[in-house]
Structure 1
């Protein structure tokens, strides 16, 4: 699970929304956004009632829930091509067992509308934060100027922070995941694959490379040696380049 999907899942779980069917597209295109679908569990509905309703309506909604009334987030007609705050429809249904009173059903319908507003607001908030997370690992965002080049007469040594398409926090501690994601959203942290390469300047042939994925660096106090990994990576790239050049020389 990638960083954005992990973030969306954790945030929806904290709010009480279903997480088995999360869809998103964040490419700065029309119709982009994020959405999720599924049944809201009874315990979560009670929590939403406490959060969104007041006084007698709150009590009526809780009675309706206890009688078996349900809420489901379903795809609407816009979801055929898109995934965003307006592709979700919140559907409230009365129970098939104990009948609701008129006031309980009216209150539950008001609850449905309040949930619809919360769903849309949550989607828009997560979408905005999702873009911030993407930017923290994008060559067009936080990584735009993270490239250093050292030249000799014939060769160039390039140290570059490149996009890490497989960046994963799957086995991280939960608190570390939350802190890392929030730092990305706050533009305090970037994530990347560190790449060191040796190229021939004349035709830009790559002679040697070394990679290290899953890297993070603070934007407040960026490191130049990447926690001590850079020296070894430079040595590996140069050694590989020398071996390549020597093999060409022997072949000639």
Structure 2
């Protein structure tokens, strides 16, 4: 889960940046397919932040340049800060409806009409961002948590079964931003999955697991053959552990035979 949370938060911050918002907003998300679940974010917007956000809306064709210039002049004259805070629902849920908008800190806050216009434009960004964060968050979650059929494949020999199955997160590395961005793009655009795997060597006689290896970075694309993504080094680790287990059992049993 640590890796999933890290990647989801990183993506949410990328979305904020793309809309001209500060990257350091507080991110909150609850993604358990329950009522009230989703994503939200909190923090404050300075005059500079508000101006940048409105200019981004102009670049997306959502606001006319003349309207943007008029509002930016009023924002700069007001020297105030718009806070996005949790309302009564924000402590239990995470969605756009959990946010309240409060003007503070300015010696000359914008008048009600201008404040209402700005809040309306900011609210439209918030609603779009919260929807996108939640939608993408669910896709990331589905791509990184074990599926309903966790066994990816297995191979049978005369005495053993080699089984590869999805498992919970076994490692959370300090991946750099470039890697995270590439991984997010593969998941959201290509439908890739990035699930940790357990590679086990199981005795068909006793049913005991003789050796296990862990792969915390198994990236798979839809329709990709096993040979394209499976690292045989994982299998080598599992079989080596199985060999050591079998040798230890053999030695223990030989000692048992000698003493009896």
Question: TM-score band, normalised by the shorter chain?
Answer: 0.7 to 0.9
Closer, same or farther: CA 169–33 of 1 in aligned 2, 3 Å: farther
Number of residue-to-residue matches in the alignment: 242
CA distance in 2, matches of 1:207, 1:13: 49
- 2:212 matches 1:209: yes
Give the whole-Å Cα distance in 2 for the aligned partners of 1:153 and 1:235.
Answer: 18
Deviations 1:125-182 (A, max 9, x none): 11001101111123227xx465211223432111234343645563242xx4333212
**Cα distance between partner residues in 2 of 1:46 and 1:128:** 27
Match of 1:246 in 2: 247
What secondary structure is seen at the aligned counterpart in 1 of 2:33?
coil
Match of 2:20 in 1: 16
Distance 2:69 2:26 in 1: 30
TM-score under structure 1 length normalisation: 0.83
d(CA) in 2 for partners of 1:170, 1:198: 30
- Residue 170 of structure 1 is matched in structure 2 by 175
* 1: CA distance, partners of 2:171 / 2:74: 45
Residue 25 in 1 paired to residue 64 in 2? no
Partner of 1:95: 106
**1:79 corresponds to:** 90
Distance 2:197 2:46 in 1: 43
What is aligned with 2:6?
A: 2
TM-score after normalising by structure 2: 0.81
The one-character-per-residue Cα deviations of 1:182-228 (angstroms, maximum 9, x if unpaired) are 2212343111223321112355322101122123122253442536x
Q: Closer, same or farther in 2 for the Cα pair 1:94/1:249, shift >3 Å?
A: closer
* Structure 1 gaps, min length 5: none
* SS of equivalent residue, structure 1 residue 83: coil
Aligned alpha-carbon RMSD (Å): 2.6
Take 1:235 and 1:110, find their aligned partners in 2: how far apart are those partners?
Answer: 63
Comparing 40-49 with 116-125, greater Cα deviation is found at: 40-49
Question: In the aligned structure 2, how far is the partner of 1:75 from the partner of 1:161?
Answer: 37
Q: Counterparts in 2 of 1:110-189, with a 5 A limit?
A: 110-140=117-147, 144=149, 147-164=152-169, 166=171, 170-173=175-178, 176-189=179-192
The 1:20–1:49 alpha-carbon spacing in structure 2 relative to 1, beyond 3 Å, is closer
Q: Take 2:65 and 2:249, find their aligned partners in 1: how far apart are those partners?
A: 82
